[in-house]
Every structure is written in structure tokens, then in C-alpha cells.
Amino acid sequence: MSNEFKNLVSVNIDEIPLLNSLKSYSERDIDCFDVPGHVKDQGVKILNQYFGEHIMRMDINSSPIMDNVANPNGVIKEAQKLLADAYKADEAFFITNGTTQAIHAMILSTINPGDKVLIPRNIHKSVINALILTGGIPVFIQPEFDDYLGISLNISPQKVKDIIDKEEDLKAIFVLNPTYYGACTDLKEIINICHEKDILVLVDEAHGAHFKFHKELPPSSMEMGADMSAVSIHKTGGALTQASALLINKKSIDYKKVLQSINMLQSTSASYLLMASIDGARANLILNGEQQLSQALSLAKYAKDRLNKIKGIKVLSTELIEKDGVKFIDETKLCINVKGLNRTGFEVYDLLYKNFSVQAELGDLYNILVLVSIGTTKKNIDNLIKSIEIIASMQSKEELFKQIDIKQINPITKLNPREAFYSAKESIDIKKCVNRICAESIMAYPPGIPIVAPGELITQEIIEYIELLKENNAYLTDMKDKKLETVLVIK
């Protein structure tokens, strides 16, 4: 490694074993007769021009020198151990198809056909799909709800205890911590409640990859004793998109079965660019995370203070801690309520991007969500504030924004997701599908939380909510009929 490169990264090469090995390997004069077919920077010049020759040379396949993620014994194993140490886990696995794959592997390695899993209703669709793969049976728990924001918060320990006392044969609980909007439950208390009855605690920590690296952020799940955690290093940790990790506590989890499950789901040609980006992002979080996250928290507070001075705008974060089911809040996530502008969050989301080149994380009926991360600058924040100030001054539609009574949908499960997936199906008019069993997932994306999932009864309330989202131009996905005039149901 050149001195110039050492100075650039400011990291001891022993602290980035995979990233360093990949760079060194790419610089060697090797005659490659293996895949990928572009053969470093030799075959596809247009990709060299757009991605850069360095990237193309580092896009390699497994080799004896570079280890193999399916059975790591060399540099990948070393890098995964450093990742586990960073998160206070016993073992860590690199995942290259996002936290969706990590969640699938988590559930596949712990849940057998017929096992019951306690899951909140505001889970990501990947959890339902994992139950289709395994034959596990969902037992739903409703998270708490914020009427002003119109969003689900998190589950309360008391509700967990009440359900566990009734459902004595639960195998595991799946906890979303944090939620998409940054709400964290009292996870430590839930872990204590569940472990007293030998119930595994599996955590979707997709949006909490940064928690471990700053004391003012919520505590991370492995620190609190969770059995498994799926972490999106790319979302808030700085790795490349799709780079994720699965963390385990070996006292309760079978390492070999987890690796076997990952190998069933993950490509045998897992991307070294993605894996090495985890290595580099982890090193950055250890070395620079506290400083960068302090800056992010400071910018988030600044944005909140400024935005709350705009007529029609209300930003809530720490206030939510007073709500049931919320022990901590990730203050780097700003839930900006815009209904005072007589506009939906969907409208404001679109206006920000189309008129001001500002990309929010999502819009819903009442809010937009923006993430302040380790890469956010004050210029970014000032552009956001200025754009919302201009939107607030724009004339909205003449009729007042209709205050909608958003209620939580309490699913009625008729079939487990796997049974529904393999049952005979038919498409019928959406207006005629009340009291039929749904055979597909319907959701607004982001965040990808099912409004109705396979095996659940379609009620009039669900149809009305779907029609409401359609009227307000929500991006609905996963259904067979993209216009959602028909719904796939069980025959």
C-alpha cells in the first residue's frame, strides 16, 4: 500500500483486513481466467468511464487468497470478527443482499414449520416472506400509535408480557428496533421477559447500525443481550447499498445452522465490493463515528429548531419518549409533520424532489421523514429548511386538508403465510373482496410495511385505507395488479 493511500484513509491497515487485501489483490498483475467476465478493467470500457478503473479491478470473485464467504477461514473471517467485536456480538456474518436476506437467514435458522413467532404489525415485508419460507406462524402484537403523526410507534413490554402469558408455546419474538421513524422500545425489558421463558429475541435493527457508536443514541440490541440482530450497515453506517450484517449470540444460536441458512440464500458470488465496504464503514465508525454522529445530532437539532418555526410544520422526536412503547428516540431521524400546510406528506415529498432537488426518505399521509447521517452537511440541512419554507409559502389546494382518522389495522389471520402462498388463487374486483382471504401483500413503499398480507382477512376498513392511499398518490407495491383495481385472493 502506498504512503499516499495510507495518509488518505488514516486507518491502520490491520483494522481493514478485507478492504486492504482487496485493494492489494486488484493491483497485482494477475492473468484472470475466472469470472467476472469483464476481467478487471479490460473488457467493458464504458463501465471504466462511469465507475472508474479502481472499482472495476476490485470487482472480483472468490479465490484462495481472498477467502470465501460461504466458509470463511481467512481474510473474510478476520474482517467478520472485527465487525462482531465492534457490535459486542459473538459472531458476525457479511450479507450482500440487504437486511431482507439477513432477516430471512435469521428466521430460517431459528424457526421450524409450525413454530409461533410474536411479531409487531408494523414489520417489514421480509418477515412475512421469511415465514413463507419456513412455515412459521405469526402471532401479531399491535405497536402503540401516535394519532397526531398518524404512525405506529413501538411495542410495549407490558403487551409483550400479556401475550407471552397467553401463548406459552412461542418460539421467538421479532422486534423492530428502531422503527422506520426512530422509535425504540424498552428492548432490555423485553429481552428479560422473553429469556425468562426461553423465548428467542430476534431484532430487526436495520435502521440502527449507528447506535453502538455514540452515547446519545439508543443502545444497540446486542449490547442488551438480544439473540440475533440484522443490521443495515449501508443505511446509517456508511457502507454501499445492500451491504448488511447478521449478528448472533452463540450462547443461544447455532452458528453452523446460521451459516448453512445464509449459504442457502446468498449468492456463491457474493460481491467483494459490498463486503469490503462493510469493513471500511466499520473502521470509520470506530475511528470517526463519535465525531461524525455528534455532528449529525447537532445538525438534526438545528433543523428541528428551524423547521418548528415554520407555520404549519411540526417536528417531533424526543417528545415521543413520553408515549407508551417508546423508551428511546433516534434523534437523527426527523419526522416532519406537514398537515398544517393543507398538504399530504406524499405531496411535500414530491415537491421537494421535483422543485428543489431535495430527496427525503419517505412521505406518508401526514409526514415526511428525513435522515440526518454521518455524511450530511449543514448545506444539505439549510437547503432542506429553505425548500420547506418556500413550500409552506405556496398556495395549497383551496379545500382544507381532510383530517383523516387513521386507525391501526388489526389483522385477522385465517391461514399462515406459507399456506396462503401455496393455495389456489383468483383475482377479483377490489370492491368485492371484503371477507375474502388475501393471497398477496399490499403495501406502501417506503417503508414496506404490509397493509394486508397473505393469509389475512380483507376487511372493509382495509379496502377504505387502500383507496385513501390511492387517492393521495401513495406508491403501492407488491400486488399483482399494479393499478390495484383487483386483488389476489384465495379461491
pLDDT digits 0-9 by tens, 161-210: 999 999 989 999 999 999 999 999 999 999 999 999 999 999 999 999 99
Give the chain's mean pLDDT: 92
Cβ pair 56, 40 in contact under 8 A:
yes
CA gap 461, 409 in Å, rounded: 8
Q: For residue 402, is pLDDT > 80?
A: no
pLDDT of residue 6: 45
> Average pLDDT for residues 22-51, to the nearest whole number?
93
> Average pLDDT for residues 62-73, to the nearest whole number?
93
Q: At 293, is the pLDDT very low, low, confident or very high (cuts 50, 70, 90)? A: very high
pLDDT of residue 412: 87
Q: At 36, is the pLDDT very low, low, confident or very high (cuts 50, 70, 90)? A: very high
pLDDT of residue 470: 85
pLDDT of residue 8: 45
- Check: pTM over 0.95? Answer yes or no: no
Answer with the residue of higher pLDDT: 353 or 7. Answer: 353
Choose among 480, 32, 476, 91: nearest CA to 253.
91
Q: Which CATH class is domain 417-490?
A: alpha beta
Q: For residue 112, is pLDDT > 90?
A: yes
Q: At 451, is the pLDDT very low, low, confident or very high (cuts 50, 70, 90)? A: confident
Choose among 97, 96, 94, 100: nearest CA to 448.
100
Q: At 240, is the pLDDT very low, low, confident or very high (cuts 50, 70, 90)? A: very high
pLDDT of residue 147: 82
pLDDT of residue 145: 87
Q: For residue 400, is pLDDT > 60?
A: no
CATH number assigned to the domain covering 75-283: 3.40.640.10
Answer with the residue of higher pLDDT: 80 or 168. Answer: 80
Cβ neighbours, 10 Å, residue 117? 24
CATH number assigned to the domain covering 293-393: 3.90.1150.150
Q: For residue 40, is pLDDT > 70?
A: yes
> Average pLDDT for residues 242-249, to the nearest whole number?
97
pLDDT of residue 13: 58
pLDDT of residue 404: 55
Q: Count Cα atoms within 13 angstroms, Cβ side, for 64.
A: 0
Q: Which three cell numbers stand for residue 78?
A: 478476520
321 alpha carbon, distance to own chain's centre: 21
Q: For residue 415, is pLDDT > 80?
A: yes
Least confident of 138-147, 212-221, 237-246, 314-323: 314-323
> Average pLDDT for residues 404-408, to the nearest whole number?
59
Answer with the residue of higher pLDDT: 290 or 452. Answer: 290
pLDDT of residue 2: 44
Q: For residue 273, is pLDDT > 90?
A: yes
**Inter-CA distances, 103 with 108, 253, 293, 447, Å:** 8, 14, 26, 16
**Residues 6+ away with beta carbon under 8 Å from 454:** 128, 132, 415, 417, 420, 421, 438, 439, 440, 441
Q: For residue 407, is pLDDT > 80?
A: no
Burial of 181 (0-12, 13-18, 19+ CB in 10 A): buried
Domain positions in the chain are 3-58, 75-283, 293-393, 417-490
> Average pLDDT for residues 349-367, to the nearest whole number?
95
